[in-house]
Amino acid sequence: MSLPGVLDVLEGWDGIGVVMRHDPPTGTWIFVALHDDTLGPTTGGCRMKVYDRPEDGLADALRLAEGMTQKWAAMDFPFGGGKSVLAVSRPLEGDERRGLLHRFGELLNALGGRYGTGADLGTTTEDMQTIAEVSEHVIGVHGRSEGPMDPSPFTALGVFEGIRTALRHRFGSDDPAGRTVLVEGVGSVGEPLAERLSGAGARLLVADLDRARAEAVADRLGAEVVTLAAVLTTACDVYVPCAVGGTLHEESIPRLRCAIVAGAANNQLAAPEAASALHGAGILYAPDYVINGGGAMAFASIYLGMDDLDEVERRVRGISVSLDEIFAEAAVRGSSPVAAAQTRVARTLQRGPR
């Protein structure tokens, strides 16, 4: 890693700072980016990836940490923005991987709670359990011995509540009964979400890259399968992206035949301008980083010591309150909900912790 490269990446970044460390046994560069702790301790996932240059891993950590500040603030949740990147020189397995994760856990201990980590791209909940063997600064584990947890059902619950809020703003009633919803991607989040929607009486359409999976879910829930090619042009009340990001862009938006886009996928907007394009097309868009925060919220609550799962679920359902305020503000201003969410982030950070 070159010093000028690092300095270039850091120049202009407005975060608290970055802890950088090299791990000689695996040749990994470890970056822990602490962006903002106005609302609480910095918290965000740990990404493990082979980058062309370690500096690219640092740049990723900075960008993602800033994103976490916005995510927590938009949900008005008492955490700050942070993210870590393990820029590995090659894929690691077995003892090598465990060793790195343990040394990373010791670094977290040295930070004394200023940053808490969780699973992200390239790391698994099992990896988090490994880190938890040496450090308590890990979210998404039941404790040191009981094993990892799955965030997806909580994410699905948050998206379900978010869809209801969007329905109320668009149609005056939050009742999904009789509404046509198209769930794209019936995986860990999409399937339990489809189940909730179907249970609430929605007319369910499903699509998945894995056709057999789509058919199995459709059979079980009495849904109809839509081909991938037809997803964007199928008439529905709510398009629910729960697969990959980047599906909303200047070519896809004019083809959409839905009233609402509200789903779990990360980074649904291919570019920031897509938010105003959706607004211009009269489609109500639930900002992804607000509506898909249920898993993170649940894990963070448990990490803070909340052990009553009903209470955790109540908090996750609170995503509907954040979205409600965002939609209401967007309506008053005549702006896209994304613009309203950004204003809310700035205001919440200025206000400070509750």
Question: What is the binding site for ligand NAI (CB under 6 A)?
Answer: 151-152, 155, 184-190, 207-210, 213, 228, 242-245, 264-266, 292, 295
Beta pairing partners, 82: 34
Residue 48: which of 85, 99, 102 has the closest Cα?
A: 85
Q: How far is the CB of 64 from ligand NAI (least distance, A)?
A: 13
CA distance 244 to 202: 23
Q: How far is the CB of 45 from ligand NAI (least distance, A)?
A: 10
CA distance 142 to 148: 6
Beta carbon nearer to ligand NAI, 20 or 264: 264
Q: How far is the CB of 267 from ligand NAI (least distance, A)?
A: 8
Beta pairing partners, 239: 182, 261
DSSP for 302-348 reads HHTT---HHHHHHHHHTHHHHHHHHHHHHHHHT--HHHHHHHHHHHH
CA distance 89 to 29: 8
CA distance 58 to 33: 8
| Torsion of the alpha carbons at 287, 288, 292 and 293, rounded to the nearest 10 | -70
Residue nearest to ligand NAI (CB): 187
- Report the SS3 class of residue 128: helix
Residue 283: which of 123, 169, 149, 122 has the closest Cα?
A: 169
Q: How far is the CB of 269 from ligand NAI (least distance, A)?
A: 13
Q: What's the burial of 308, exposed, middle or buried (CB within 10 Å: 0-12/13-18/19+)?
A: exposed
Q: How far is the CB of 2 from ligand NAI (least distance, A)?
A: 32
CA distance 159 to 157: 5
Q: What are residue 14's phi and psi, to 5 degrees?
A: -100, 20
Residue 143: which of 157, 152, 133 has the closest Cα?
A: 133
Q: How far is the CB of 209 from ligand NAI (least distance, A)?
A: 4
Q: How far is the CB of 334 from ligand NAI (least distance, A)?
A: 29
Beta-carbon count within 10 A of 6 CB = 18
Catalytic residue check, 49:
no
Beta carbon nearer to ligand NAI, 105 or 192: 192
Length, in residues, of the chain: 354
Beta carbon nearer to ligand NAI, 100 or 128: 128
Contact 242, 262 (CB under 8 A): no
Name the catalytic one among 35, 47, 71, 83: 83
Catalytic site positions: 83
